[in-house]
Every structure is written in C-alpha cells, then in structure tokens.
Amino acid sequence: MSKFNLYLQAPKDELKGSHAGMNPKLFFFLLFCFQILVIFQGIELADTGFYGSFYQQIFDNPQSVAYCFMFWLSGIIGGIFLKIFPFAGLFGLRILWVFVFLAIIVVAYRFLKKYVHTAYLQWSLFILTLHLNNDPKEFYYNNFSSLLYLVTAILLFNGLKSNRLMAIFGSGAIVSLNAFNRFPNILGVGLAMAILYYGFIHKTEIKVIVKMLFSFMAGFLVTTGIVLLIMQLAGQLHIYLDALYILAGMGKRPVQINPAEDHYSIILMIKTIIHHFGVTVIVAILIIAGLISFYTMEDRIKRLNPNINILFGIIKLCFIALIVALVFRGTITNISINNVITGVCLVVGTAMILFSPNKEVNLLLFIGIFIMIVHPMGSSEGIRTVEKYSLWIVFPIVFDRIFSTVSLRINNRSERPGQSAGIYFFVSEKQLTEAKKGVLILSIFSCLYFTYYYPHSDWGNRATMIYPVNNKNMRFVYTSKERAELLNQLLEASAKYVHTGDIVFVYDCNALYHFMTDTKPYTRNPWPWLYLSNTFKTELENAEATNKYLPVIIMQTASTLVDDASYWPQRRSPNDYLKNPTNIDRNKIMEEFITNHNYHEVWSNSYFKILIPPGKTI
C-alpha cells in the first residue's frame, strides 16, 4: 500500500512586504489609461461592423438586423448610447467598452479583496487586462457578458453565504438578462448547481436548499417575463423570435450542407468545447509536472555537486531565450497563453476544491470554474475569444494560491514492510520564487507583445497604424496606409450609388461598411458569412419578396478573416476566395443571384467591387 502526500508551505506572515499592493484608485486609473491607449488603432470589417450596425438600426430599422437580435440587450445599450451620442462612431463604442471594463475591474477587486492578497489580486487583474490583447475593443455582447456573469456570481455567493433569498433571486434575474444579452448564456441557469454544492459542503437542510433554488429560478423566470413584455410593447418580440428561429436552424445542420461551412452545429460546438478544455488541461499538467521535475532534479544534482550551479543557470537562460524567440516567431501565440492560463485555472482550481478546507473559497472557485466552462459555449471556433472574459473570479484565486506558496513537496512512499521505494519531489522556496518570477515576466512580456503587434484582425506594427479612414463614424481610429487606402477608395466610389438609410447587400464579411455608411442590410444580417448556405438562400428569397427594389451590392474579392488574412492587404491569401471550402456553397448562391438579376460591375479595386442592378443610375 502506498500513501500520497502533497505539502504546500505558505508564508508565516501573509500580509508583509509585497502583499500590500498599490493604492486601489491609482491601480484602477492605470488600467483605465492602458485600455485608452490601445483603442486608437486597428480596424477590422466583420465583428466590429456586425454589432456596430446592429446598434445603429435597432430602434429605427430593427427588422433589417433581425439576426442580431439574439444579442438584444447589448444591442439596446449600444443603440441608446449612439442615440445619446450620435457623433460617437466607432471610437465612442470603444470608450464605452473601457468604462464597462473599468466596472469589471472595480467590482472584481472590491469583491475578491476579502479572499485574495491585495498585491496578488492586482497582479492577476493586470495580467487579465493584458490578456485581452487582440480582442475587439468595442462594447459588445461578449465583454458585456463578463460583467453580467461577475455580478451574478457575487449575488449568488453572497446570497448563499448569508442565506439572503433576495440576493439569490437577483442572481437569477441577472442570468436572465445575460441570456438576452447573448442567447447561449441561458446555460447560466446551470449555476443552480452551485446551490446544490453549497448545500452539500455545509450539510444544509433540504427545505433551505429548495427555497434557494426556488428563489434563483423565480428571479430568472420573472425577469424573462418582464423582458419579453418590454419587447412586445416595443414591437420587437417577433423579431427576437425570428432570430432564435435562425439560430435553431444553424444549430442543426441539414445533410446537404458542406461541413466546411458548418461553424455552429450543436455537435461541432460540443466537440470543440471538449477538445479545447482537454488540450488546456493536458498543457497545464505537462507544464506543472515539467517545472516540478526540473527543480527536483536540480536540487538533487546540486546536493551531489554544488559546483554545477552555472550549468543550471545557463539552461534556464536558454529556456527563457527560447520562449522569447518562439513568441517573436509566432509559434507561441495569444492562443497558447490562453490555453496555459485556462488549463492552470482548471487544474489548480479543481485541486483546491477537492483538498482545501476553506469552504467559502471553494464555493467561489466552483462558481468561477462553472462560468469559465459555460460562458464560451455557443461560440464555436471563437471559444478562445469568449474564454478570456470568463476568468475574473477563478484566475485571481488560483494566482493567489500559487504565489502564496513558498515551497512544495510531494511524496508517494510505500508503506509495505521492508520497502522504502517511492516517488519524491521537492521545490524549495528559492526555486519556487525563481519559477514564479520567470513565469510572471514571460507572461507580461508575451501579452504586451501581442497587444502591440496584434490589434483585433488588423495585425501589424502599431507604429505604422497612423492612417485614418475618411468617414465620420471612423474618427480617431487608425490603421495601416494600405488598409486605409482601400477602404477610402471603396467609400468614395460607393458614394455615387449608396446613400444614408439605403438598403445595401454587403457580401460577405464587410459588415463595417454598413456602420460607416449607416445603411441597412439586405438579408437581415450585416454579416452574411455567418449564414449556412441553405439559410442564406432562404434569406435571399425572403429579401426578394420583401423589398421592392434590388440593392447595390458591395462585394469583397479576397479573404479578410483570421490568421494570415488579418494582415490584409499587405499579405493576400493565396487561395481563390470564391473557391474557399468555407464559402463555396454560399458563393454559388450569390453568383446565381447576381446572374439572375443581371447585375453588372461598375467599380473594383484589389479587395472590393461594386455591382448595380439594371436601371440603377448615379
């Protein structure tokens, strides 16, 4: 029989030295300033235009953006903001996000300071801020969801801890609002499991647990009813239901659909989630095990030969240099960093729940891990984008646990008579301090590098992003000379055929055009690329039946999405965009529409072209 033991030694005086942290107001101000610095640069066409045009049209022409109504709450907030500040444009939406971000930081800080050392809490929130390096900088449904999830967690935790049914009711109400902000967030109802977990660890009476569950669900159902009533009174309920109908069609892929364009089938999303978290856990285990093994080996060898210090110093420097080189080379990306952070949170957080005697922190971790797993669901390949916004609870707690530990010892000794075999690992205080500093420095360096060179889908050196797009909705936002020139050419040429308020058919990933020109989408979606080909065909048929006149078509001829295409136009994808497996079925339908209605091309540049129907004049 063998016995496994894990010893984590904490410091004797946990409040001394660096644990004090800086002044909270100064800390908030510095993070606020950092976020302001990074919102002036980077222009991408798809995500930004998708929710930007939604905000523009949600009150005046809601039917034209029906697909976007699955994000109704953020649409209402963004729409109200643009109504109050009609001059705000894209930069205004970025300022709005900075204030939402500040609210997240302040709320998380004030809540978690009771459970996390001040300095470690500040360091962890700083790293999470840097970790949002190349995500969208505008206010939108994903980053707003993170604030709503955070408020939900706080209300639920405080309600359970103090047996306050109204706080639990409030947490259910926020879950409902979050579902209207982003429909997949309806899975937040599963936070009811935290009530069951609380009852289990505290051995609470069943009738008390039932009251808590009832309060949570009552909050969800009452708020859902109120929001639906508001939608009905505003004349938007049928549009919202249409959006859910479209979403349901995307979640169940017909047999004839090309799998390459199938981004949102339920089966694919489940597989993506399982695969992603499986990979992150494996990566985290390998890194943790590797570091422990290396330092154990170092300790044993140094005991035998104290003069070997220089060799281990060289090995460590070479390892750090390798990591830096891989970051510069692009082998280690922000996705790699995300996998490490997520995996460590899962591994360490789960271990704390299983072995830590602190019931309050364990409940917080349970809620935080649940949010971390559930929040990204429904985002398909965009899971990593959403995941970054789901770490505000679990990461600071895990960070504090790791950085509060000053030494580590693991042994698995045999207890059989006459046997002394076993496994023994030891990391000293000096070694652990060295490892923590190294990881912290490398993390900060990597995130700053990604922040500088990888604005959202506009990857490049920020020093060269000093060129504006000549449009009132794009003031104070800059991009590369080449990208600005192409967009300015498109805006200048299309102004002859398109005017504010027109219905325009923008195909297929240039939703930003709608936002820049304040025009209405032809297919009830400013980003038709999101449609499966069968849904796209149906929406085209509906548009033809609904609209009296054929629209001007603004069509892209090269990829502007993800990976190398994020460098456009400096790097043009070598593949034929019209024959890309992801697009080919939709493109065939689009070409048929153009041919059947006798469209003809009147202008083009290297990335866009304009087509008009017969009889259309300047």
Q: Helix 266-304 crosses helix 309-329 at what angle (to 10 degrees)?
A: 160
> Which residues have CB under 8 Å from 129's CB, separation 6+?
31, 34, 35, 101, 105
- Per DSSP, what are the bridge partners of residue 426? 409
* SS3 state at 503: strand
**Phi then psi dihedrals of residue 608, to 5 deg:** -135, 160
Other C-beta atoms lying within 10 Å of the C-beta of residue 557: 13
pLDDT (0 to 100) of residue 407: 74
Q: State pTM to two decimals.
A: 0.92
123 contacts 399 by C-beta, under 8 angstroms: yes
Is the peptide bond between 518 and the residue preceding it cis, with omega within 30 degrees of 0? no
Task: Transcribe 167-206 into DSSP letters.
Answer: HHHHHHHHHHHHHHHSGGGGGGGGGHHHHHHHHHHHT--H
- The stretches in the chain having pLDDT less than 50 are 1-4, 12-18, 251-256, 420-421
- Using CA atoms, how far apart are residues 578 and 583, in angstroms rounded to an integer? 7
Q: 493: part of which helix (H) or strand (E)? A: helix 481-494
What pLDDT does residue 367 have?
Answer: 98
DSSP 71-122: GHHHHHHHHHHHHH-TT-HHHHHHHHHHHHHHHHHHHHHHHHTTTS-HHHHH
- Residue 46: CB partners within 8 Å, gap ≥ 6? 457, 509, 510, 511, 512, 527, 529, 560, 561
Question: pLDDT tens for residues 270-321?
Answer: 777 888 889 999 999 999 999 999 988 988 888 888 778 888 889 999 999 9
DSSP-derived secondary structure letter, 11: P
